[in-house]
Structure 1
Amino acid sequence: MAYVRGLKQPITELSGVGPAAKAAYLELGISTYSDLLLLSPRTWEDRSEVHPLGGLEDAQMANTLVEVLSHSYFGLKAGKKRTLKILVRDVSGLGDGRLSLLCFGRNFLEKTIKVGRIYYLYGSVNRNRGELQCSQFELYPATEDGDFPKQFGQILPIYPLRGSLSQRLIRTNMKAVLASVDTFEDEMTASMRENYHLLSTDQAIRAYHFPPSVEVLHQAHRTLALTELFYLQLVARRHKSLQQRSTRTGPSIPTKLELKCIETLPFSLTGDQITSLTEIRQDLDSDMPMNRLLQGDVGSGKTLVAWISALHVLSQKGQVAFMAPTELLARQHAESGAALLEKLGIRLAFLTGSVKNKERRLLLEAIKGGEVDIIIGTHALFSAEVAFRNLRYVIIDEQHRFGVEQRLALLEKAQVPDLLLMTATPIPRTLSLTVFGNLNVSTLRTMPAGRKPVITHLVNEQSRKRMYQAVGVEFQRGHQAYFVYPRIDDSGESDLRDVNNMYEFLKNEYPTVPSALIHSKLDEEEKVHILKEYQGGRIAYLVSTSVVEVGIDIPNATCMVIEHADRFGLSALHQLRGRVGRSVLQSYCFLVFGDELTDEAKQRLKVMKESNDGFYIAEQDLLIRGPGELTGTRQSGYLKLIYASLTDDLPLIEIARNEADHILESDPGLLQVEHEPIRATLANAPPFEEEHSEA
């Protein structure tokens, strides 16, 4: 049996693959026949239809027969700097027109391209001073009857290149690999092929590389993309279904401690918070460890859900670890947790790298002895010296800031811990269906009552003065502000504004308004002191780097000014904007940008201006940046999709998920005859390994 991913022959067995080509192929990650088959063309050149010279616009491709009319030169009259120009006319019979072929560095073509002869031409044309010109082209002699050569009436794949590789060599090698296999085994069931109008795997892989028509190419691509997404879902959902089959049935009931905490709140929980608490509670009461992602927009109340859910575990005599990525954020969580839970008799402790000597030793002994219920801290929680008496529940805030190894180090401190990952960077729907397919996901969309959307202004240099005046009005109203810059000290290296210089500038702009400077180079105690002063209203504005991006909750802050906003990613911009608008006060965000913007920067600023919805912003971020940067998959290597696109193939993702769920529900062991192709593919050449399904 031959599978697309099962051909282990080394590429050095292919004609033309010597040491240089082998090294170039290795740069593309190709060492076997299968690796080569999985090399996706970056595009295809459609040479199957004639595109005559007449009527072509700039950057369109000519694909036609031409007669050579003359040779001439332009440039210096003497020496090697002259450039050959070949004038041709269209003789395809489907159009007319003349074209000048500019032969930069190819004056030798004067000897091989003969006047009066007919050639097949393929190349990109443009108009210059009324003349149709082409400098990147291919010319091949036509057949004796003046027709197109057979080898060029095709749709040709264009592959990524490295080193000494050429399109001709890769195509030749690809054809040889395909010819070495009589038939590739099907990877999809007969019913899926019929229901979704798919090709067989054999037809699809051959047509993907060398399509007979554009229509068949689309069908081949759809077949391979859906196959890839199906196996990605199957691996992820298979892992998840094993958990679900072992869970306890019946409703989970909130404990007295949870109810007492909810009753003391001065407001009502949102519907999404109540739903998320129910989902988490059911996981906590199941026989299998919880593996859940709690996602919600900035200010949606994720931390409150986490604290209340922790009470469910504490009622069963377990311990809870709450980990945050920075000491500043961990300290904020410790303060909010203490304000909510200490009156219920819950014992909390705060542990970071700055807790030292005798104080640290006593705290570690208390944690080990079970005298602490909730331990809040940074990565210090998973250091070797920290031991728990009965760690049952691990909560990780801003989970994307921690590596897999760090998470595992903390989880290893408990026998069977429940895990809740929290993120204020909402996961786009396409990613939640794929990358996080093995996680249960709870979502907070509803914002607390009374919150007003932040009004966002785009500010160019000409509008800067009006912005400062608008912020000054907020100071007169007794409100507070943030000014955020990308650098601490520019040191004259560029024209970027930095916190040190702008701090002095703003003190002149607002001479009677108390302010403070905060950035990552300050020691932790000074940062904490500044934030307490700011929280108490004794400081009106902070001049900062993006250190204030997460965890700072000041209801009286109504203005966020982000300088050089075009240099920040959408996620960072949304997080920074989320520092304001945290009360019933109307808040404002000013995104200041320079004169020269990239197209991507324009897109980001436009999205921020249009919407306060973190889920919409996350989807747009996916469209602009692609999935790798959003999920960290470029570093982890987990999500290496070859055919499918997370931005374009949502319908296929949903089909794949539904099919995977249906099959695992009806035939979890894949024992039915119809599912033989799936079982055989997983056994012989799985597109995704089981261990890669861990998020």
Structure 2
Amino acid sequence: MEFLRNLQRPITTLSGVGPAAKTSYAEMGITTFSDLLLLSPRTWEDRSRVHPLGSTQDNQMANTLVEVLSHSYFGMRTGKKRTLKIMVRDVSGQGDGRLSLLCFGRNFLEKTIQIGRIYYLYGTVSRHHGELQCSQFELYPATEDGDFPRQFGKILPIYPLRGSLSQRLIRKNIQEILKSVNHFHDELPESLQEKYQLLSTDEAIRSYHFPPTIELLNQARKTLAFTELFYLQLIVRRHKGLQQRLASQGPSIPTKLELHFMEQLPFSLTKDQMTSLKEIREDLDGELPMNRLLQGDVGSGKTLVAWISALHVLSHGAQVAFMAPTELLARQHAESAASLLGDLGIRLAFLTGSVKNKERRLLLKAIAEGQVDIIIGTHALFSAEVSFKNLAYVIIDEQHRFGVEQRLALTQKGTVPDVLLMTATPIPRTLSLTVFGNLNVSTLRTMPPGRKPVITHLVNEQSRRRMYQAVGVEFKRGHQAYFVYPRIDDSGQSDLRDVISMYDFLKQEYPDVPSELIHSKLDEEEKVTILKNYQAGKIGYLVSTSVVEVGIDIPNATCMIIEHAERFGLSALHQLRGRVGRSELQSYCFLVFSNELTDEAKQRLKVMKESNDGFYIAEQDLLIRGPGELTGTKQSGYLKLAYASLTDDLPLIEIAREEADLILTTDPGLLAPPLASIREVLRHAPPFTAEGSEA
């Protein structure tokens, strides 16, 4: 009896795995028998049934016996440019029909494929000029009695390849591993197998790689996917349940400082803001360090919640660090904090790489001696020279822009401080159930009263003139606009519009409207000056790159024009659109696209046109781009799901979550005899390490 994830023998002991194959396997993260069994086929070829030529539709697979009728050539009369054409007819007895095999680059088949012989054919057929043709095919001689060879009658797995690897080698190696294991331990209790009609682990893994039928393949995939998701949920929710039990202190109450600040606000907090503050406050007062994500759409008031929660910590005499991904955004947060908290006697400091020499030394000394309450900055906050007297709370804005190592470096500057991560890129529901399962999440869905949804227009080249006229109307109303381009200076290298050339064009288009150019190559102080003038209404429009994507709050800006919108991801498009619509004024977003669009680009633009809801957009982003791209897991190797799909298996995710919750509620120690299989898996071969299950 073996556990699926406990086969640690090196793949180099398998036949045919020499230095080249070893290197290619290693590039795919495969070094052991278990790694190879966890390699999921990208598809399967169904060769189990006859698909004769006569009943095969356009672009379908033919799987049949054929007789070779003739050889001929087309193209050039002589030389390498002529192409062999083999005419065959179906002799399977289940249909008829004729087919032309086009042997591009395979003229040598004239010598091996003999006229009059019977062959097994597998290939994709298509109809051209009234003729059934096939250029990608496999031909194997039939047996002496004219029957199908051994390749027929099987459902063959098709694996991802790398380097010198071939389908034949991978199949051979996996078969060798499966033959070496007498039986795999069951990883699920019998009750779950019966309840959801699942296979045993042994039958599932064997049927997944080499399924005898399509029905059994589907059942095997469901079994392995459910098993994987069940253990992910069990491990994550077991850890989270322990955290919640240890952190449970009963209700926490706001401090006098918090209450005084909220009473001075000229507006009331939304219901979601009040709920999030309560959740954060209870975490801050708990025994365990807080690990919470505050997610909310652009303009939902996350930063205000963060500042109020910081007052709770400051009331207890500790320090707070607030980190933003760019100096521009950090500076805006510092100015916001100064205007909101300055009258409360809160001591603020701003630290980025541009703070130099004596000023920097004095600032670092003040932070180390506890003379600063809130320190706001960029990644400079986790440099070795920065030390705190009593850092108890770390707030990280736009958390997805920082690496795990960077976040860890900052949190290690305090005695296990509480951490609040903020993002305006909402987590899709499927990811919140899995990737972020052990991270407490507070959500702001309610927008401040009076906000109107931004009206989004899709603009092709033919509609460009009408767009410029519509923006001109907004300028006459005294409103402001952003023009965003993907490049600073294209230098004539392509047809892309860029910031530099379009700045000159727009000055001709709107000669009486003051404008400025802003992009990443400008000096930081110059960018700050431009934005202050824009905020003060001295500038009618900005011509920019995506540097304005986050953190800029101009209530009078009502137009966002994004050129070459097909080149931006959904998250960036939504963030850029969020720069307008930040007041009671009706705002507009114009997504200008080229005439040549990929299917994915069309999907993104369609989603933006349909919805202003960041949560819906995040779900669609997951469907379009996949979980690896969305969470950065493709690069980091974080959340390695072998069998389950975060986009296709939402029902399984929810079932797995319910079953894990039920077991942990009734038997948190997993002590009951029917749960022995779970205990054994967690003890000997857990599907996810502690590191792999944390967000």
- CA shift, 1:350, in A, is 1.6
Q: Please state if 1:22 is matched with 2:22.
A: yes
Counterpart AA for 1:573: L
Partner of 2:390: 390
Q: Please state if 1:458 is matched with 2:420.
A: no
Q: Please state if 1:62 is matched with 2:66.
A: no
Q: What CA distance in whole angstroms lies between the structure 2 residues aligned with 1:503 and 1:416?
A: 49
Task: Choose 601-610 or 11-20, whichever is displaced more.
Answer: 11-20
CA contact (8 A) 2:276 2:442 kept: yes
CA contact (8 A) 1:452 1:584 kept: yes
Q: Please state if 1:3 is matched with 2:11.
A: no
Map 1:440-459 → 2, pairs under 5 A? 440-459=440-459
Task: Choose 80-89 or 492-501, whichever is displaced more.
Answer: 80-89
- CA shift, 1:549, in A, is 0.4
Map 1:164-175 → 2, pairs under 5 A? 164-175=164-175
- CA shift, 1:383, in A, is 1.8
CA contact (8 A) 1:399 1:423 kept: yes
Q: Please state if 1:574 is matched with 2:574.
A: yes
SS of residue in 1 equivalent to 2:53: coil
Alignment deviations for residues 224-269 of structure 1 (CA, whole Å, 9 cap, x no partner): 1111112222232232222112113321111222122221111111
Shift in CA distance, 522/107, structure 1 to aligned 2, threshold 3 Å? closer
Partner of 1:225: 225
Q: What CA distance in whole angstroms lies between the structure 2 residues aligned with 1:82 and 1:400?
A: 55
CA contact (8 A) 1:248 1:285 kept: no
Q: Please state if 1:253 is matched with 2:259.
A: no
CA contact (8 A) 1:565 1:591 kept: yes
Partner of 2:185: 185
State TM-score, norm by structure 2.
0.97
SS of residue in 2 equivalent to 1:692: coil
Task: Choose 376-385 or 128-137, whichever is displaced more.
Answer: 376-385
Q: Please state if 1:341 is matched with 2:358.
A: no
Partner of 2:36: 36
Partner of 2:527: 527
SS of residue in 2 equivalent to 1:125: strand
Alignment deviations for residues 179-209 of structure 1 (CA, whole Å, 9 cap, x no partner): 1111011111222212221111101100000
Map 1:590-669 → 2, pairs under 5 A? 590-669=590-669
Alignment deviations for residues 5-28 of structure 1 (CA, whole Å, 9 cap, x no partner): 211222222222233333332333
Q: What CA distance in whole angstroms lies between the structure 1 residues aligned with 2:12 and 2:168?
A: 17
Counterpart AA for 2:30: I
Unaligned runs of 5+ in 2: none
Partner of 1:285: 285
Map 1:341-380 → 2, pairs under 5 A? 341-380=341-380
- CA shift, 1:441, in A, is 0.4
Count of aligned pairs between the two proteins: 695
- CA shift, 1:70, in A, is 2.4
% of aligned pairs identical?
81
Q: What CA distance in whole angstroms lies between the structure 2 residues aligned with 1:105 and 1:357?
A: 69
Counterpart AA for 1:55: S
Map 1:312-327 → 2, pairs under 5 A? 312-327=312-327
Alignment deviations for residues 441-499 of structure 1 (CA, whole Å, 9 cap, x no partner): 01111111110000111111111111111111111100011111111111222221111
Q: What CA distance in whole angstroms lies between the structure 2 residues aligned with 1:647 and 1:532?
A: 43
Q: What CA distance in whole angstroms lies between the structure 1 residues aligned with 2:21 and 2:625?
A: 32
Partner of 2:412: 412
Q: What CA distance in whole angstroms lies between the structure 1 residues aligned with 2:54 and 2:431?
A: 46
SS of residue in 2 equivalent to 1:268: coil
Q: What CA distance in whole angstroms lies between the structure 1 residues aligned with 2:354 and 2:101?
A: 71
Q: What CA distance in whole angstroms lies between the structure 1 residues aligned with 2:44 and 2:473?
A: 58
Q: What CA distance in whole angstroms lies between the structure 1 residues aligned with 2:30 and 2:311?
A: 52
Shift in CA distance, 685/339, structure 1 to aligned 2, threshold 3 Å? same
- CA shift, 1:663, in A, is 2.8
Partner of 1:270: 270
- CA shift, 1:370, in A, is 2.2
Q: What CA distance in whole angstroms lies between the structure 2 residues aligned with 1:288 and 1:222?
A: 37
- CA shift, 1:150, in A, is 4.5
Partner of 1:211: 211
Counterpart AA for 1:677: S
Task: Choose 238-247 or 480-489, whichever is displaced more.
Answer: 238-247
- CA shift, 1:37, in A, is 1.1
SS of residue in 2 equivalent to 1:350: strand
CA contact (8 A) 1:395 1:419 kept: yes
Partner of 2:548: 548
Partner of 1:142: 142
Q: What CA distance in whole angstroms lies between the structure 1 residues aligned with 2:416 and 2:393?
A: 9
Counterpart AA for 1:555: P
CA contact (8 A) 2:639 2:693 kept: no
SS of residue in 1 equivalent to 2:280: helix
Counterpart AA for 2:339: A
Partner of 2:237: 237
CA contact (8 A) 2:120 2:142 kept: yes
Shift in CA distance, 107/514, structure 1 to aligned 2, threshold 3 Å? closer
Q: Please state if 1:537 is matched with 2:545.
A: no
- CA shift, 1:596, in A, is 1.3
Alignment deviations for residues 336-381 of structure 1 (CA, whole Å, 9 cap, x no partner): 1122222222222222222222322222232222222211111122
Alignment deviations for residues 258-295 of structure 1 (CA, whole Å, 9 cap, x no partner): 12222111111111111111111111111111100000
CA contact (8 A) 2:65 2:92 kept: yes
Q: What CA distance in whole angstroms lies between the structure 2 residues aligned with 1:627 and 1:144?
A: 51
Partner of 1:301: 301
Counterpart AA for 1:51: H
Alignment deviations for residues 585-617 of structure 1 (CA, whole Å, 9 cap, x no partner): 000011111121111111111111111000111
SS of residue in 1 equivalent to 2:687: coil
- CA shift, 1:81, in A, is 4.0
SS of residue in 1 equivalent to 2:692: helix
- CA shift, 1:91, in A, is 2.1
SS of residue in 1 equivalent to 2:4: coil
Counterpart AA for 2:270: T
CA contact (8 A) 1:66 1:92 kept: yes
CA contact (8 A) 1:118 1:142 kept: yes
Shift in CA distance, 77/538, structure 1 to aligned 2, threshold 3 Å? closer
CA contact (8 A) 1:348 1:373 kept: yes
- CA shift, 1:144, in A, is 4.3
State TM-score, norm by structure 1.
0.97
Task: Choose 64-73 or 131-140, whichever is displaced more.
Answer: 64-73
Counterpart AA for 2:158: I
CA contact (8 A) 1:367 1:387 kept: yes
